[in-house]
Structure 1
Amino acid sequence: MSHRRALAGMIVVTLLWSIAGVVTRFLDSAQSFEVTFWRSLFTAIPLGAYYAVAHGRQTPRLLMAGGKALWISGLMWSVMFTCFMVAITLTTVANVLVTMSVAPLFTALLARFMLGHPVKPRTWLAIVVAGAGIAWMYGANVSADSRHLMGTLVALGVPIAGAINWNILQRSGQSVDLVPALLIGALISSAVTLPLSMPFQATAHDIGLLAMLGLFQLAIPCALSVRLARFLPAPEISLLALLEIVFGIAWAWLGANEQPAPQVLTGGALVLGTLALNEAWGLRRRA
């Protein structure tokens, strides 16, 4: 695959990832854990079908033979799936997406303690500046509505679980296939949130929207990103992933009239600008 085609593919992937926030704003009655349950279930079904077609009767054996790293990765994905959807129901799309965007910084910081990797001075600077941007974002919102604070704390589970995920995989030294890890994560997430979702309140309209998210916002783009990651360097993928935040905020603003507060736009621009410069510098050094 050419670099240009892989680049275009990753842009499409970020577009698909970014639709979750705006779609959830059109749900009728499904809330919190039920939203998570249905999306995770409809993510597991196509991923399970894909893996079964690809490997047939060998599927259970391959999953069991994946080792500890595969199952820890699956557990971390389940945390990310659950925290993201719960946070989206508690606070604004912009708050959740900008909070999630600090995942590369958390990963670098955790690698310092788990793997002994030194944290570069530019990354330390990015951590400080991004932290200041997030503090500015939430300073007014927290005092105005405690739900924003709760949503932020839940959303922090996504970059923390992501950082643990990638560091565990690197520490194990194993090459873990992301598709079964995602499948395990979706199954765990749906199993854990099922009893918390009772009694079901989702309408047929809600289930249809959440099924669309499971297939088009998670299963398909995640499977595509696995293939595309082979043709793009890590800093470039991190840069492209920031487009999800931009697209997601724009969808919620234009599609659901969820206009971010001025401090969110200012703090978010500071966070994203810092991350973009940090990753661009890493890409330049790699080149």
Structure 2
Amino acid sequence: MRYGQGVALVLAAGSLWSLMGLGLRQIEAANVWQILFWRSVGSLPVLLAFVWWTSGGHPLRQVRKVGLAGVAGGLGLVFAFAGAIYAIQTTTIANAVFLFTASPFVAAILGWVLLGERVRGWTWAAIALAVVGMYLMVREGLAMGALAGNIAALLSAAGFGAFSVALRWGKVKQMLPVSMLGGLFSAMVAAAVLAFQGSSLVPSGWDIGISLGIGALILALGMVMYTLGSRVIPAAELTLLSLIEVLLAPLWVFLFLGETASPATFFGGGVLLAAVALNAVMGTRAQRTGGLAKAP
């Protein structure tokens, strides 16, 4: 695969993921755990088919290769998926997706604490800038009554950060089996929570159809394209390219649903995006000069 093809795939994945909020806005009555269960059920056949293809018809062998790190990454995705659904249901799309971009910084801190990976000076500066942006957005949530949604978005970012650290911990080269485990664990956790609550596993047919479609067409297909594209694109540049999701998601709900956010949300989100861009640009520059090769 050529670099340009990889860029196109990653941009397509981010554009597809940006439709997630618009899709979840179509849910009529299903709760977080019902959506999580059926969305996960929808994603599993697509992810399994791709793992089957890439493994030459031996998906279990590829799943076993991810080991304990894959299991940890899959559990991290449970938090990422559940937190994202709750956040999108309880706060604005702009608030949610801006806060999701905190995941690279969560990964940097967890990698430093758990793996002893060096956090470079520019990353600490970007983290400090990101904290300012997140503070502006979460503070606004107090006035809007959306604090729980903002916290859920941050927990989602933390879950995805943990997923990223698990991949580095286990030296996992193929991430689709880990994503498939995340979908499986999410379905199991959602079913267990619903059973504990005494709630039905089956919402309306409309809500089931929307959830299945989001899982199969938006989440899983986006993950497949992202995985293929990431093979030829440095990690720091992936961070920049993934910002297409953050830029498009608020646009779709504004154009089709008339939903917007306050100036404080966009100001805080802009500060957060600047932090992500700073980290990605400096990381790309270090890769080109060979600076990252010296990191332990």
TM (norm. structure 1) is 0.91
Structure 1 segments (4+ residues) deviating >6 Å: none
Equivalent position of 1:183 in the other structure = 180
1:253–1:201 distance in 2 versus 1, CA, 3 Å: farther
1:156 is paired with a residue whose SS is: helix
Gapped regions of structure 2 (runs ≥ 5): 289-296
How many residue pairs were aligned?
A: 284
How much is the aligned-residue C-alpha RMSD, in angstroms? 2.0
Paired amino acid for 1:247: L
- The answer to whether residue 155 in structure 2 is matched with residue 157 in structure 1 is yes
- What is the CA distance between 1:114 and its match in structure 2? 2.0
Partner of 1:150, secondary structure, is helix
C-alpha contact 1:136 1:263 (8 A) present in aligned 2: yes
State the alpha-carbon separation in 2 of the partners of residues 155 and 219 from structure 1.
20
Partner of 1:32: 32
SS in structure 1 of the partner of residue 242 of structure 2: helix
**Contact 2:12 2:225 (C-alpha < 8 Å) held by counterparts:** no
1:144 to 1:67, Cα distance in 2 relative to 1, 3 A: closer
Over 3 Å counting, the alpha-carbon distance change for 1:49 and 1:5 in structure 2 is closer
Match of 2:8 in 1: 8
Instruction: Say whether residues 1:268 and 2:266 are aligned partners.
Output: no
> Do 1:23 and 1:209's aligned partners in 2 also have CA atoms closer than 8 Å?
yes
SS at match of 1:284: helix
Paired amino acid for 2:222: P
Q: Distance in 2 between matches of 1:79 and 1:31?
A: 16
Give the aligned partner of residue 279 of structure 2. 278
- Whether the aligned pair in 2 keeps the contact of 1:93 and 1:252 (CA below 8 Å) is yes
1:192-211 alignment runs, 5 A limit? 192-197=189-194, 198-200=199-201, 202-211=203-212
Gaps of 5+ in 1: none
Whole-angstrom CA distance in 2 between matches of 1:6 and 1:58? 26
Kindly provide the amino acid, as one letter, of the partner of residue 178 in structure 1.
M
Using structure 2 for the length normalisation, give the TM-score. 0.88
Match of 1:239 in 2: 240
> Which residue identity does 1:3 align to in structure 2?
Y
Deviation at 1:55, TM superposition (A): 5.0
Identical aligned pairs, as a percentage? 27
Does residue 1:213 correspond to 2:208, yes or no? no
In 1, the alpha carbon distance for the partners of 2:144 and 2:73 equals 37
Indicate if the aligned counterparts of 2:3 and 2:233 stay in contact, CA closer than 8 A: yes
Residues 1-287 of structure 1: pairs in structure 2 closer than 5 A: 1-52=1-52, 58-145=58-145, 148-172=146-170, 174-197=171-194, 198-200=199-201, 202-287=203-288
d(CA) in 2 for partners of 1:138 and 1:254? 25
Q: Please, which moves more after superposition, 161-170 or 60-69?
A: 60-69
Whole-angstrom distance in 2 between the partners of 1:274 and 1:83: 22
| Aligned partner of residue 105 in structure 1, secondary structure | helix
